[in-house]
């Protein structure tokens, strides 16, 4: 189990991670979802002791990462598949991990087979690897110590659809055997396919978390108005009716039935452009909203 408690990381005046708290539970795959630059990688680097937190802490199975005496045997980590020595062969890179952890030599061949790298591929130098092969090799390094916890940053990056399916089955099996998996992605689809629980982060803050079914189902109503002032007026009217709203692009996501939203709009004299049940699209809307803030298209506006 990974427990993140009020984790904060400042870079000068910039806050990369802002009081992030969540738990990745044993036996489940937790997806860490957020646009590029949201603070996912920074949080993960803090978890494994590569970056110092400004405040807050992370424990893995109740202990700080640096308290583990041979971390590779307890936590499998893949932070960046391209951060592997281009001049070494895949087998050599895995052998270094095997020797560092003090594992039997046979584990190398076994683990290579487990991640689907052939003998021939393992003998090639990493500079000749595709990103997908590097991911598999990185996952091999994470798995070789037979850990109970996996921390994987964008592991599906560069994998083809068959590769993503393979990864899903692998992580599902790992979690079903009582392991804890935390994986990050900037693609909602990937997370939807693989994860049981989802933690959504944007601009260093957690904006939503819960089980996948919960987040996808509790979508409520989508409502759009003709201009921002009208949206504000509607939001205020809904708040007065004790209804929770979340701003989305050009409107609101409302935790209520469309009928109630329509009535409220009518009473407040707000002209609606769109009113419909969110059909489980709430997460996607929210995520697009988050992405729009940081994406290049958004920056031009």
Partner 1 sequence: MTTATALPRPTTEVATPARVVRPIPTTRLTTVELRKMFDTRAGFWLMASVGIISVLATAAVIIWAPDEAITQNTFSTAIGMPLSVVLPIIAILSVTGEYSQRTGLTTYTLVPWRGRVLSAKVVATLLVGVVAMFVALAVGALGNLLGSAITRLDATWDITLSQFGNIVLANVLGMLMGFMLGVLFRSSAAAIVGYFVYSFVLPVAFGTLAAFQEWFRDLQPWVDVQFAITRLFDNSMTAEYWQQLGVTTLVWLWIPLALGLRAVLRAEVK
Asked whether position 92 contacts partner 1 by CB under 8 A, the answer is yes
**Comparison of 145 and 220: residue with beta carbon closer to partner 1:** 145
- Work out which of 14, 52, 120, 299 binds partner 1, going by CB under 8 A: 52
- Work out which of 55, 99, 130, 226 binds partner 1, going by CB under 8 A: 99
Asked whether position 96 contacts partner 1 by CB under 8 A, the answer is yes
Smallest gap from Cβ 246 to partner 1, in A, equals: 28
CA distance 255 to 250: 17
Asked whether position 296 contacts partner 1 by CB under 8 A, the answer is no
Q: Are strands 221-225 and 272-277 parallel, antiparallel or unpaired?
A: antiparallel
Asked whether position 57 contacts partner 1 by CB under 8 A, the answer is no
Asked whether position 69 contacts partner 1 by CB under 8 A, the answer is yes
Sign for the CA dihedral angle at 119, 152, 175, 103 comes to positive
Structure letter (DSSP) for residue 198: E
**What ranges make up the beta strands (E) of the chain?**
2-11, 14-24, 29-33, 55-60, 75-78, 149-153, 180-185, 197-202, 205-211, 221-225, 245-248, 251-254, 272-277
Asked whether position 82 contacts partner 1 by CB under 8 A, the answer is yes
CA distance 150 to 171: 9
**Comparison of 50 and 131: residue with beta carbon closer to partner 1:** 50
Q: Is residue 38 within 8 Å of residue 191, measured between CB atoms?
A: no
**Comparison of 73 and 217: residue with beta carbon closer to partner 1:** 73
Asked whether position 61 contacts partner 1 by CB under 8 A, the answer is yes
Asked whether position 37 contacts partner 1 by CB under 8 A, the answer is no
Q: Is residue 202 within 8 Å of residue 188, measured between CB atoms?
A: no
Asked whether position 50 contacts partner 1 by CB under 8 A, the answer is yes
Residues of this chain that bind partner 1 (CB under 8 A): 1, 3, 23, 25-27, 45, 48-52, 61-62, 65-66, 68-74, 77, 79-80, 82-88, 92, 96-97, 99-102, 141, 148, 178
């Amino acid at each position: 189990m990974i427990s993140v408690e009020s984790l904060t990381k400042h870079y000068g005046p910039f806050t990369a991670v802002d009081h992030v708290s969540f738990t990745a539970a044993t036996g489940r795959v937790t997806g860490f979802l957020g646009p590029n630059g949201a603070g996912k990688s920074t949080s993960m680097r803090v978890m494994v002791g590569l970056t110092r937190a400004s405040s807050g802490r992370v424990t893995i199975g109740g202990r700080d990462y640096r308290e583990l005496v041979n971390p590779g045997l307890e936590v499998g980590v893949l932070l960046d598949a391209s951060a592997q020595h281009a001049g070494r062969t895949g087998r050599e890179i895995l052998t270094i991990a095997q020797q560092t952890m003090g594992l039997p030599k046979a584990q190398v061949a076994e683990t290579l087979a487990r991640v689907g790298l052939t003998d021939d591929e393992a003998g090639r130098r990493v500079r000749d690897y595709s990103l997908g092969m590097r991911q598999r090799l990185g996952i091999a390094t994470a798995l070789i110590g037979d850990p109970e916890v996996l921390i994987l940053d964008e592991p599906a990056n560069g994998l083809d659809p068959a590769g993503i399916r393979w990864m899903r089955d692998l992580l599902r099996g790992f979690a079903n055997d009582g392991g804890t998996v935390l994986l990050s992605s900037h693609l909602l689809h990937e997370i939807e396919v693989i994860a049981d629980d989802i933690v959504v982060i944007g601009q260093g803050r957690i904006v939503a978390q819960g089980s996948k079914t919960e987040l996808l189902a509790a979508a409520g109503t989508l409502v759009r108005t003709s201009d921002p002032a009208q949206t504000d007026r509607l939001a205020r009217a809904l708040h007065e009716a004790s209804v929770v709203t979340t701003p989305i692009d050009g409107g609101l996501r409302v935790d209520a039935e469309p009928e109630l939203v329509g009535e409220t709009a009518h009473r407040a004299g707000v002209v609606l452009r769109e009113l419909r049940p969110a059909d489980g699209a709430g997460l996607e809307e929210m995520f697009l909203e988050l992405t729009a803030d940081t994406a290049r298209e958004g920056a031009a506006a």
